[in-house]
Structure 1
């Protein structure tokens, strides 16, 4: 799909913050060192399926900086970034909105399933991610 305008550095960082942050939220919902290793492989496998502007956003530029103090602070950054990412894509590359949503949800699901299946805490985080990616009513 051809974009009406290229993504700015800030817009690419917003897409990356949403996608990587969603994976981080799911991974931290049921923490553990061994789980984290398996989950990071699962996330990278899902992210490898990106294409077009979504792939460009996820593979270029700096890594997002997420708060380190609490999961609530991370969520307060990531969930709005997911919503903003959908808005950015809707405005600049509408055909990529569904691909971004699918990629983020697939990565979150694969991370949750990577170690002992999806826990209730992980399922709850995925539901919040899904809500943040939803079209406004």
Structure 2
């Protein structure tokens, strides 16, 4: 089964993946280094392979992750994660698995330094829940 994504679909995938990393950085800002979280998570996303890797590597403009609070950012990102998984599951289940594992890898990379704070652990749970809701 081939994967055919519209520009909007690709934007949703990028918003979901990079948004998950942004959510962790925003949630971890109080107790850690948001820059380190964002860097480690983004490096993991940049190492994705297959069609998902090509979509995430595309630097087209359009991803807008400018919430004024963690709540505003979550309102944008969590539904995008669920939507991305739904559209991938319909078209190419293997790519849905690839996307999910890529986002989970980015989350793990972002919080790899020691035991995650309760805030980061909770955000990780929310991200995983959104991925699995589709």
Distance 1:87 1:17 in 2: 15
Matched position secondary structure for 2:111: helix
Matched position secondary structure for 1:113: coil
Give the TM-score taking structure 1 as reference length: 0.86
Map 1:72-87; keep pairs closer than 5 Å.
72-87=71-86
Give the TM-score taking structure 2 as reference length: 0.88
Q: Which residue of structure 2 lines up, in the alignment, with residue 110 of structure 1?
A: 109
Count of residues in Structure 1 that have an aligned counterpart in Structure 2? 133
Map 1:20-31; keep pairs closer than 5 Å.
20-31=18-29
Name structure 1 gaps, 5 residues minimum.
none
Matched position secondary structure for 2:33: helix
Question: What is the aligned-residue RMSD (CA, Å)?
Answer: 2.0
Provide closer, same or farther for how the CA distance between residues 37 and 69 of structure 1 changes in structure 2, counting only shifts above 3 A. Answer: closer
Q: Which residue of structure 2 lines up, in the alignment, with residue 133 of structure 1?
A: 131
**CA positional deviation for 1:63:** 4.9
Q: Which residue of structure 1 lines up, in the alignment, with residue 53 of structure 2?
A: 55
